[in-house]
Structure 1
Amino acid sequence: MSAADETRTRLVEAATAVFAEDGVFTASLVEITRRAGQRNRGAVHYHFGTRESLLVAVLHQHASFLAAREGELLAKARTTPEDDLTAVLEAIVRPAVELAETGPSGRQYLVIVGQLVEEFDRLDEAVAAELTATGGYDVYALLASRMPPLDEALHNERLALITGFILRSVADRARASERSTPGRSQLPTELFVRNLVALAAGMATTPPVDV
């Protein structure tokens, strides 16, 4: 690996941590540079040009894994009955859990994705394209088609809440496993996946509230 490639790798790793901790849109590029061990305060701009290009590189790290794994489970979900939400939700939950269990980078990645999903309509075109490359939008299209009929605004709100709930739950579980001090005991992976799928299905099928 060349020195330039090594520097880019360190910047991406540092950005993954800082974006997750401080927020994609508010994190300091100087702090990213510092954590990457670079003395040049303009290292991000030199190697990536913009914050958005750095963010694309961060998203690219695990996009292929999520796309492949979600694609496998989506294919299975499409063979299930049209009212089966659990198979579709498993295609969201299981890949996220598997990624989070690879280590801190996977958990941080999910935190970043959760931030971006909430702001998708405002994202830079290249960032949106890389986020779409994770494959999740095909899964959500199937989920939306199987959810009970709802007013459009309520339907969109539920999808956003379900997404945030899943990603935060998975990231929090991974974060707990990284702590040096004991905390609440965690469920075994398979039970955690099935429980989270069931909870998300409940969120998706709860009758609409009266206004």
Structure 2
Amino acid sequence: MTASDTRQLLVDAATRAFAEHGVHNASLLEITRQAGQRNRGAVHYHFGSREGMLAAVIEREVDFLGPRERELLALARETPDDDLASVLAAVVRPAIELAETGWRGRCYLQIVAQLVDDGGPRIPAEVHDVLSRTGGYDVFQLLQERLPAMPDAFRDERLALVTTFLLRAVADRARSEDREIPGRPQLPTEDFIENLLAMVTAMLTAPLPT
């Protein structure tokens, strides 16, 4: 087995573990075991640290997400300044397309949702650098510009909650297809997208509490 093969096995094991147990709680030793490696230091040898491994997990999807998000962001920039749905679509559509590629895409969405919950300052610099290669940060910059005026604390809270909701809703929908026992009926993909965009637009523009 080559070093590249070993690295791939470790990234796969980490992807599952980070999604299931949490980015900060997943056991590196268990990841090593699940990857079939006997060397307890395999993670540090190949990635340097937990953060380095997390960056490798995120990086695997960059080439898929980056071009697609930027393509849709360019279309969103051509819409009126109060059009939030077109901006949100630049996140939603690539996420759905990624989730439909298989378990790795679905786990990725769960992991990024965790990072959003953690908040910007807690995201390791090397992970932040990888995420910046997607179009996500540019999408949310435009979204902030188009939001109705509100205090920063409310704006930041809404954006964080909406991002987490979007990612998890998409991942949960895709994961439902893997269940042995069918869950509730699912909307057709395009109806799901349009309904989700309508819901999150309403969340972002809801009246502020008095």
* Superimposed CA distance per residue, residues 2-55 of structure 1 (whole angstroms, 9 cap, x where no aligned partner): 611000000001100100000001110011111111122221112111111111
The residue that corresponds to 2:52 in the other structure is 53
The residue that corresponds to 1:116 in the other structure is 115
1:12 partnered with 2:32 = no
The residue that corresponds to 1:149 in the other structure is 149
Aligned residues: 209
Alignment of 1:58-207 (within 5 A): 58-119=57-118, 120-207=120-207
Q: Distance in 2 between matches of 1:132 and 1:115?
A: 17
* Superimposed CA distance per residue, residues 114-155 of structure 1 (whole angstroms, 9 cap, x where no aligned partner): 111232212221111112222201000111111111111001
Matching residue's letter, 2:124 = D
Q: Distance in 1 between matches of 2:110 and 2:40?
A: 26
1:21 partnered with 2:20 = yes
Runs in 1 of length 4+ with deviation above 6 angstroms? none
Matching residue's letter, 2:41 = G
* Superimposed CA distance per residue, residues 97-126 of structure 1 (whole angstroms, 9 cap, x where no aligned partner): 000000010000000111112322122211
Q: Distance in 2 between matches of 1:49 and 1:126?
A: 12
Matching residue's letter, 1:86 = A
29-38 or 114-123: which moved more?
A: 114-123
1:62, distance to aligned residue in structure 2 (A): 0.4
Matching residue's letter, 1:122 = R
Residue aligned with 2:23, SS: coil
Gaps of 5+ in 2: none
Percent sequence identity over aligned pairs: 58
**TM-score normalised over the length of structure 1:** 0.96
1:207, distance to aligned residue in structure 2 (A): 0.9
Q: Distance in 2 between matches of 1:134 and 1:113?
A: 12
Supply the RMSD in Å over aligned alpha carbons. Answer: 1.0
Gaps of 5+ in 1: none
